[in-house]
Structure 1
Amino acid sequence: MAMNSVNTNVGALVALQNLNATNSELSKTQSRINTGKKVASAKDDGATWAIAQSQRANSQSLNAVQDSLNRGRSVIDVAVAAGESVSDLLLSMKEKALAASDASLDSTSRAALNEDFKALRDQIGKAVSNADFNGTNLIKTGATSIQALANADGSSKLTVGAEVLALGGSIVTVAAAGTIGTVTTATAMITTVGTSITNVGASLARLGTKAKAFDLHSAFVTKLQDALDAGVGNLVDADLAKESAKLQALQTKQQLGVQALSIANQSSQSLLSLFRG
């Protein structure tokens, strides 16, 4: 049997507990709406928050990977541009050498062709020496391979080998002092330049393949970042449509709780009627 007491209002206590619980839920829902997240801090859900932080770290680390890939790709692009210029110069040099191999040329014409040839030859050196990006040159004498980051922990890398296109090397076999001043040297130079053209074409093909690999991997990293960010969103983002509906329900429940507490608090007043004559 329920006891009527002025010291302990059981109904008010129950109503207050329910109202406090409703207020707590309402506060959580409002926080989710304000932040857009159902897990905004470790105290909301420690395990989920820790997983989300780990994936955020991976996603942010991929920004460094993208930067590294972009730098590597730029180095390759500069090398390819210079290599294509070298190839074009070699084509012109072969034309000059072929013209100079004509024994019927007079000395004036031969000298003019030789000067043109030497100017083209020297331009190869300029193109090679100026093919720098951020202090890196893949085609100059002494060039070494470069590496770019390929994953978030740095354990995997993309490597691009050097393709030395300097004069007198294994690819451009035209000597730094090569000329076509005589029929004999011009005839020999035709073969030398032809070999160089073939070698440079192979070098550019290798660089082009690496450039494409960088492009493909950069596209993959972008997709991977998007997938990681979406995964983190699935873990921590709030369903705002659901939270909006819940907010309205809790606000109504809160109003009813306040009324219930008010009614419970009035019960002690009814005890006074028992003492009225």
Structure 2
Amino acid sequence: MSSILTNNGATAALQTLKNINKQMGSVQNQISTGKRVNSAKDNAAVWAISKAMESDVAGFKKVSESLSLGQATISVARQGAETVTDLLTQVKEKIVASQEENVDRAKIQTDIEALRDQISAVVDASQFNGQYMLKNTSTDANSGGINVLASIDRSFDGVTSSDIRVRKQDLGTGAASVSASGGTFSASEATATLNGTQTATVDLSGVTVEAGKAFSVQIFGTDADDSSFTQADYRNSAAAAITQGEAAATDITYVARDGDTAADVASALANAYATYAADNGLDTNDFNMTASGSGLTVTSGVTTATDTIAVAVASIGADAGNTIGGRLEALSSIDVSTQAGADSALAAIDGLIDTAIDSAAAFGSAEMRLETQSEFVSGLTDALKSGIGTLVDADMEETSARLQALQVQQQLGIQAMSIANSAPQSLLGLFR
């Protein structure tokens, strides 16, 4: 049936042309934006995923900046520690030279003092943007290191950040001080006794370590007739229980810094004893102390069942007002102007060099880790960008071909529309 009121052909052609024009609009939008999914109405699920990933990419850019800043800071610290190591090596050369009696020890001492001042200058100059990594004498919590933003982690519970903690490595030469009164005092945090067994361990693993807390080693030998060892040489307290004043006065002390562990305390006390033994001419066969993990290994080749040496680690709490010293504090007491001083300095310098070497190595490891993380974050960012592109970017080859096809369809649709609109004219022939 033909009708002059309803043109079904024109209606169908119009709907087809509208659909073609709509598709052309979508294709042209993809060409102009380069995206297949440009807004939530294009594909809500894919758009939501892409936006979340884009926020992660923006976050990782900031992570990269943080890692770059961290690398620069640690690089300066490492170079400073390496320079200190070289300067300490020069100090050792001077100390070795002073062992010869026919030398001018006073001039050598002047050179050593100049090198010591240079070490202090290097420590003071080794900072980046005001961040010092070769100084750690503050009792403030978490002041013993820096956190470098390393990553952002997305999970079902949300987004969290993760840091790389880099500890400060103090190489200062400032002196520590231990309060002789006040605060919390414990005469025996950990103990051990050498007897016929001649070896024991002072276990510090259960000791609480906090910034500003002082630790002191008490040695109390018992050999009334001095048959095995000279009793007075191995006593730094008047009685079996050391007093706070005696603990503060002994040279075998260490004031903990922020971030220290029991192992750090053990190592520091062992180094302090090595210097103490050298200064006092003590025989390491009679008594020796070395660090072993979070404890002190004490040995003797002369103790017996009755001739014993008791060892205790005393502590004076941070509330006593102790002062944290530099880890190279012993450098200030080196004096080679006498033979005894030269001998003592030779015993002490290797421990100081080891401290500087360990510090430089620690910074080197941290710097390498930051560099590795930076490379990972850079690669991850590129992968995320590629993933976002896969989700939302338009395939330009396909889009171009699609546009040409739609242009042909549009022309045909227009022709079909024209033919459909002219169809009612044929009805005029029926009325002639």
TM-score norm. by structure 2 comes to 0.60
> Shift of the alpha carbon at 1:158?
0.6
Higher normalized strand content (fraction of residues): 2
Runs of 4+ in 1 over 4 A off after TM superposition: none
Superposed CA offset, 1:25-49 (max 9, x none):
0110111111111001111111110
Say if 2:136 and 2:144, in contact at 8 Å, map to a contact too. no
> Shift of the alpha carbon at 1:162?
1.2
Structure 2 equivalent of residue 216 of structure 1 = 372
Say if 1:98 and 1:187, in contact at 8 Å, map to a contact too. no
Q: Given the alignment of the two structures, is residue 234 of structure 1 paired with residue 396 of structure 2, yes or no?
A: no
Amino acid paired to 2:377:
V
Superposed CA offset, 1:154-199 (max 9, x none):
4321101111011155642433353322332222212222111112
Say if 1:49 and 1:236, in contact at 8 Å, map to a contact too. yes
Structure 2 equivalent of residue 167 of structure 1 = 173
Relative to structure 2, which stretch is displaced further, 19-28 or 58-67? 58-67
Structure 1 equivalent of residue 123 of structure 2 = 128
RMSD, aligned α-carbons: 1.5
| CA distance 1:160–1:43, change in 2 (3 Å) | same
Say if 2:136 and 2:169, in contact at 8 Å, map to a contact too. no
Structure 2 equivalent of residue 104 of structure 1 = 102
Say if 1:173 and 1:192, in contact at 8 Å, map to a contact too. no
Structure 2 equivalent of residue 66 of structure 1 = 64
> Shift of the alpha carbon at 1:135?
1.5
Amino acid paired to 1:112:
K
Structure 1 equivalent of residue 307 of structure 2 = none
Q: Residue 362 of structure 2 is aligned with which of 180, 203, 206?
A: 206
Determine what percentage of the aligned residue pairs are the same residue: 40
Say if 1:138 and 1:163, in contact at 8 Å, map to a contact too. yes
Structure 2 equivalent of residue 54 of structure 1 = 52
Higher normalized helix content (fraction of residues): 1
Say if 1:172 and 1:197, in contact at 8 Å, map to a contact too. no
Relative to structure 2, which stretch is displaced further, 167-176 or 35-44? 167-176
- State the alpha-carbon separation in 1 of the partners of residues 108 and 332 from structure 2: 17
- State the alpha-carbon separation in 1 of the partners of residues 96 and 329 from structure 2: 17
> Shift of the alpha carbon at 1:57?
0.8
- State the alpha-carbon separation in 1 of the partners of residues 407 and 81 from structure 2: 71
Amino acid paired to 1:119:
A
Amino acid paired to 1:46:
A
- State the alpha-carbon separation in 2 of the partners of residues 149 and 197 from structure 1: 32
Q: Residue 84 of structure 1 is aligned with which of 82, 86, 105?
A: 82
Superposed CA offset, 1:221-263 (max 9, x none):
1111111111111110111111111111000000000011011
- State the alpha-carbon separation in 1 of the partners of residues 332 and 373 from structure 2: 38
> Shift of the alpha carbon at 1:206?
1.5
> Shift of the alpha carbon at 1:130?
1.2
Superposed CA offset, 1:122-171 (max 9, x none):
00001011111122111114262111112224432110111101115564
Count of equivalent residues: 271
- Matches for 1:177-192 after TM superposition, within 5 Å: 178-192=334-348
- State the alpha-carbon separation in 2 of the partners of residues 72 and 123 from structure 1: 26
For 1:150, what is the secondary structure of its paired residue?
strand
Amino acid paired to 1:79:
A
> Shift of the alpha carbon at 1:7?
1.5
| CA distance 1:159–1:141, change in 2 (3 Å) | closer
Structure 1 equivalent of residue 350 of structure 2 = 194
TM-score norm. by structure 1 comes to 0.93
Say if 2:136 and 2:168, in contact at 8 Å, map to a contact too. no
Relative to structure 2, which stretch is displaced further, 78-87 or 67-76? 67-76
- Matches for 1:254-269 after TM superposition, within 5 Å: 254-269=410-425
